[in-house]
Amino acid sequence: MGTTAAPTTPFVPAQRRIGSIAAERRWAMIGAYIALAVFVIFFMTPPFHMLMTSLKSSGEIADLSGNPWIVRNPTLQNYWELLTQGNYMIHFRNSIIVTLSTVIISMVVSTMAAFALARMKFWGSATLATGVFLTYLVPETLLFIPMFQIVGSMGLYNNLLAMVLIFPTLTVPFCTWIMIGYFASIPKELDEAALIDGASHIQMLWKIFIPVALPGILAAMIFAFTVSWAAFIYPMAFLVSSDQMVLTVGIVSDLIRADTFQWGKIMAGALMAALPPLLVYAFLMDYYIAGLTAGATKG
């Protein structure tokens, strides 16, 4: 019986199965795209609504009769006013100053430390590397109250400089951690070749490690930039006068007077404040993501 059935039966189901696999795959794909679309809409709603509101006049915002999701008479009035009046430009400048300083400090401190930790075994180096990672896991909300006292006692209350001093605590540990990983992945023979070629440790770092680990350094830099640009609780706690504020706290403090919310300008200001990280992300996406995921391993 088996022998007679053999030539025909396997043939038919095989063909049907091929068809069903293709159909199954097509349905899975359609399902995937639907899921993606739903989440893209969910994820994009706030930025989209932000953009729409920022293009509206205060009259149009206050008008409850229309559809709030679309703009009828787009105007750049809100942007224009932010750029020409008030303290928005000061906040922007302050954010740039603090972020640039933080990035520079973070990169210098963490590159040097990571080089030593990745390549020069010394007393306590393993403990220090672990300590670096644990420090990275300390959230700033745990320390902002004592920091408030410390900053105050240093006379840096309500001073932009305090941010330059404190923000590196948010960036340096993680930057060091991922740079240890990047440096550790450089083959040991490269150091030895450099050593035989006559390089000192500093030359080795400067002429070999930094150029070779440039992608990693870029990833760490992007991380430092985004963290410092987004920092909120320290500016919130330590900066009170508008001329010292950075964007994350400045927008709200200046555009909300008692109960008047200038929503159009708030949204325009928020959108412009979100632009630098978005641009960095758009142009350096691979490095951005590399930095993001590098924390899960040391190498």
Partner 1 sequence: MAQVTLRKVVKAYEGGVQAVKGIDLDIADEEFVVLVGPSGCGKSTTLRMIAGLEEISGGEISIGGKVVNDIPPRDRDIAMVFQNYALYPHMTVAENMAFGLMLRKFPKEEIRRRVDHAARILDITPLLERKPKALSGGQRQRVAMGRAIVRDPKVFLFDEPLSNLDAKLRVQMRTEIKKVHQTVRTTTVYVTHDQVEAMTLADRVVVMNNGVIEQVGPPQELYHNPATRFVAGFIGSPAMNFINARLEQASGALRIHLPGDIVLPVPAERTSRYAALAGREVVFGIRPEHLTEAKNLDRPHVAPFPAVPEVTEPMGMETLVHFKMDGAEVCGRVDPNAPAYPGQQLPMAVDLSNMHILDPQTGRVL
Partner 2 sequence: MSQAVISPASAVPQRQGAMRRLARRNSTTAFLLTLPLILLILGLVVYPFLYALYLSMLNKRQTRFIGIENFTFLFSRETFWNVVFQSVVFAVSAVLLKALIGFVLAHVLHALPAKGQRKWRGMLLVPWVIPPAISTLAWWWLFDPSYSAFNWALAGIGVDPVPWLGATGWARFSVILVNVWYGAPFFMIMYLAALKSVPDQLYEAAAIDGASAWQKLRFVTFPMMRNIISITVLFSLIVTFANFDIVRILTNGGPQDSTHVFATYAFQVGIQSGDIPLGASVSLFMFPLLAVFAVLTLRGVNKRTKEMS
Q: Which of residues 57, 58, 77, 135 is near partner 2 by CB under 8 A? A: 135
* Residue 164 or 179 having the CB closest to partner 1: 179
Residue 211 is a binding residue for partner 1 (CB under 8 A): yes
Residue 149 is a binding residue for partner 1 (CB under 8 A): no
Residue 134 is a binding residue for partner 2 (CB under 8 A): yes
SS (H, E, C) the chain: CHHHHCCCCCHHHHHHHHHHHHHHHHHHHHHHHHHHHHHHHHHHHHHHHHHHHHCCCHHHHHCCCCCCCCCCCCCCHHHHHHHHCCCHHHHHHHHHHHHHHHHHHHHHHHHHHHHHHHHCCCCCHHHHHHHHHHHHCCCHHHHHHHHHHHHHHCCCCCCHHHHHHHHHHHHHHHHHHHHHHHHHCCCHHHHHHHHHHCCCHHHHHHHHHHHHCHHHHHHHHHHHHHHHHHCCHHHHHHCCCHHHCCHHHHHHHHHEECCEECHHHHHHHHHHHHHHHHHHHHHCHHHHHHHHHHHHCCC
* Residue 146 or 211 having the CB closest to partner 1: 211
Q: Which of residues 217-276 bind partner 2 (CB under 8 A)?
A: 226, 229-230, 232-233, 236-237, 247-249, 251-252, 263, 266-267, 270, 273-274
Q: Which of residues 13-32 bind partner 2 (CB under 8 A)?
A: 28-29, 32
- Draw the binding track, 48-67, toward partner 2 (x: CB under 8 A; -: no contact): -xx--x-------x--x--x
* Residue 85 or 203 having the CB closest to partner 1: 203
Residue 212 is a binding residue for partner 1 (CB under 8 A): yes
Q: Which of residues 179-198 bind partner 1 (CB under 8 A)?
A: 187, 189-190, 192-198
* Residue 21 or 190 having the CB closest to partner 1: 190
Partner touching 128 among partner 1, partner 2, none, CB below 5 to 8 Å by kind: partner 2
Positions in the binding site for partner 1 (CB under 8 A): 187, 189-190, 192-199, 203, 207-208, 211-212, 214
